[in-house]
Every structure is written in structure tokens, then in C-alpha cells.
Amino acid sequence: MLKGRFKAEPGAGRAVAAKDLGSSYRVIFNTLLAFIISQLIAAFVVELALGLHHPGQASASLFDQSITGQFFYVLIAEGLAAYLTIWLVRRRRMGLGVIGLGRRPVWNDVWRATGGFVVFYALLIIAGVILGLLFPSFNTNQTQNLGFNNINTGTQNTLAFFALVVLPPLGEEPLVRGYLYSGLRKHFSFKRAMLITSLLFGLAHLEFGSGGPLVWGAAIDTFILSVVLVYLRENTGALWAGMLVHFLNNIVAFGIHFH
């Protein structure tokens, strides 16, 4: 396989990675900037709304107690991440095929996603065994702080489900496996682009600045997940199979965490 090119999307007419989203440094910088901006704007909007609705109360306390506020935070953040990704692509006068959104989903995406989902959990088990042998004290069961800790009604459970299961693949896949990986793939081999993309995705789940210990277990899980998602992106030419695997993994995590 030629460096800087990967499988063309069916019907695309040419290999989409032949287009250039910018230098590798620019692509990484833009990805991090889009992520940070989307998070900051979402936090500002939600905290402002909660503060106006409950004047005189600490915004952090209000946010922790508000399932609706947390839902809208995720909705705004993921929506902005997807919007900024599309804007970055359009700004360079390119079509969305360059980030894996140039065609509709097909049944083959479902079969590829099913296989990818099985492979992902097999890799998780293997990684857990190896880490347990090499580092007996390493805690592979660390979980992220997902929020939504005060669910009391069916409506709140539904909001949490959409926020934690449905929305993240819609925002993260276009930005990470779409924009970031596609931009890096133009300049690097498949393995190197996959490694950089997955490392950044894993590091983003360490929960820097949370005040608690770094969540290495979650970072390793998301690194392995990203490896599978990047492979699907490379071999299907689109994001749909990866989105489905991401969605299925979130369902499992949601069930374990909340039920």
C-alpha cells in the first residue's frame, strides 16, 4: 500500500487520502484546539444557563446535580466537535469524503463492525492478561468519571444513555478517526498514523486536571479501541463501521457502569 494513501470509498472515484488537510503538526494542533474549544464553550453555556436558573448557588455543584445540564453539556460539546471538523475540511475546499463521510452506510459496514467489536474485546482480554503478568499491582478496572451520578427517573436514564452512548461517536469519530487520522495518513504510514491517533485518543481519557489519579486503565482501553477504529477507517474508507463499534462499546460500558 502506498504511503499517504488508503482505500478509496466505494463510489468516490479516487483515493480520498490523496487530498491534504495540512501538515501533520497543523492537523494535530487543529484537532486539540477543536476539542478544547468545544469543551470550553459547552461548559460556559451550561454553567451560565444553570447560574441564571438557580442564582446564588455554586455552578459546579449545580452541574454535578443536574442530569439535564450534563446532557446538554455533552450535546453541545459533541455537536461543536463535529461542526468544527466539518468547518476545517470545508475551509480547505474539500469534500467530506476526505474524512470518511463521502458515502452512505452499507451492510458491509455492519459486518465489519461486528468483527471489529469482537476483535476489540479479544484484544482487551489479552492486554489485561499481559499487564497483570508484567505489573501485578496495575489496576485495569479503573473507570472514568462519567458524571450522571444522580439518576432517579426513567427520563434521566434516557438522557444519560443518549449523552454517553449515542452522542460521543457522532462527535469523536469525525474529529479523531476522520480529521486527525486522515490528515496524518497523508504524511505517514498506516501504522505510524494509527499509533499517533490512538495515543492522543488514549491520553485524552486520562482525565488530566480532574483532581484525582490518572485513569490509566481507561486510557489503555480507549487506545486499543482507537486501534480497531482506525483499522476499520483504513479498510472501509469510511467512518460508519467505526462509529458502530464505538456505539456498541459505549452500550456495554453504560450497562456495566449504571446497571
Would you list the DSSP string of 29-69? HHHHHHHHHHHHHHHHHHHHHHHHHSTTS-HHHHHHH-HHH
Domain ranges of the chain: 19-258
Which of the residue ranges 61-65, 150-154, 182-186 would you say has the lowest mean pLDDT? Answer: 61-65
CA distances, 103 to each of 5, 32, 87, 225 (Å): 18, 26, 18, 23
Helical ranges in 167-215 per DSSP H: 167-172, 181-185, 190-203
Q: Per-residue confidence at 215, pLDDT binned at 50, 70, 90? A: confident
Work out the percent of the chain whose per-residue pLDDT is above 70: 85
Residues 154-166: tens digit of each pLDDT: 999 999 999 999 9
**Is 1 a residue whose pLDDT tops 50?**
no
What's the whole-number mean pLDDT along residues 182-211?
88
> Which cell goes with 210?
480532574
Rounded to the nearest integer, the mean pLDDT of the chain is: 87
Q: Kindly write down the DSSP assignment for every residue of 202-236, as one continuous string.
A: HHTTS-TTSSS---HHHHHHHHHHHHHHHHHHHHH
Three-state SS at 118: helix
Q: Kindly write down the DSSP assignment for every residue of 94-118, as one continuous string.
A: --GGGGT-SS---HHHHHHHHHHHH
Q: What is the pLDDT of residue 11?
A: 40
CB 104 within 8 A of CB 9: no
Q: What is the pLDDT of residue 57?
A: 67
Print burial letters for 142-156: b (CB count within 10 Å at least 16), e (below 16): bebebbbeeeeeeeb
Residues 125-149: tens digit of each pLDDT: 999 888 888 877 766 566 677 788 8
Residues 45-104: tens digit of each pLDDT: 999 998 887 776 656 677 788 899 999 999 999 999 999 999 999 999 999 999 999 999
